[in-house]
Amino acid sequence: MCGRYVSARKKAELLEEFQVELDGVEDEPAPDYNVAPTKEVYAVLCRIPKTGGAELRPVRQLRRVRWGLVPSWAKDPSIGSRMINARIETVAVKPAFRAAFASRRCLIPADGFYEWMPVPGERPGETRKQPYFIHPADGGVLAMAGLYEFWRDPNRPPDDPERWLCTCTVITTTAEDRVGRIHDRMPLLLDRDRWADWLDPEFPDPAALLIPADPGRLRAHPVSTRVNSVRNNGPELIKPVEINQGAGDVMLF
């Protein structure tokens, strides 16, 4: 699964990298080195804007949405905490995701993501979970395939601007070989030449786009267990650390 990641780029960088036409983020958030479920996150999506006089065509936008997809039919938004990931194998048919998969697909920018690997503990027979930071070798931005959805709060009046909640989920796939030694799942990463089709709400066959990016572009290193707590944040979380001999040397790739 993908349960933590890093989003530290400035908004201006994301607007340029993803060739965004409409900036829908009013207040730029601080860099986040420990993005966790239910947080507000960046998402790139294509929708017809509601601004007056705009062309009636989908426009590529940068938005802030909540991580943890809440289906439109949900009775309350608490279900979102269990919908942070959608498996590539079932995303097209699972009731919670299939409507969004058909026409509400997005890209979720990330500088990298965390996964935890069981390693030997201090005592014989013990194991502990060592966090690793997995990131592009070239320092670029990852485009994680995602879905977004709108949920209307039935307890708020129709004219309440807070009655609509926009949420997202990250699609996961089988991890490529080297990442798979840390965890068997990873985010579905999309190459740039698939971005336009993935974001197009009218693309006729989105299942044909469920192709992971070319392997071999990711690197990983062990990081401090401080990342285990969502209360900790800052660039020190992604700095490499030394771990017990034999526990992590093979993972430094």
Averaged in consecutive runs of 10 residues, what is the pLDDT profile of the chain (253 residues)? 94 98 94 98 93 75 98 94 97 97 98 94 86 96 98 87 92 88 94 97 96 91 97 98 59 40
What is the β-pairing status of strands 142-152 and 59-67?
unpaired
Q: Is 109 helix (H, G, I), strand (E, B) or coil?
A: strand
Task: Mark whether 166 is an active-site residue.
Answer: no
Active-site hit among 106, 115, 149, 168 = 115
Q: Tabulate helix, strand, coil % of the chain (nearest 5).
A: 20, 35, 45
Alpha helices in the chain (DSSP H): 11-17, 98-103, 177-180, 195-199
Residues whose CB falls within 8 Å of the CB of residue 137, separated by 6 or more in sequence, listed in order: 217, 218, 219
The structure's pTM equals 0.92
What burial class does residue 126 get, using C-beta atoms within 10 Å of its C-beta: 0-12 exposed, 13-18 middle, 19+ buried?
A: exposed
CATH 3.40.50.11540 holds for 5-251: no
Task: Mark whether 106 is an active-site residue.
Answer: no
The confidence score (pLDDT) of residue 51 equals 67
CA distance 7 to 48: 26
CA distance 123 to 215: 36
Q: What is the pLDDT of residues 41-70, one digit of tens each?
A: 999 999 998 765 556 889 999 999 999 999
Active-site hit among 2, 106, 166, 168 = 2
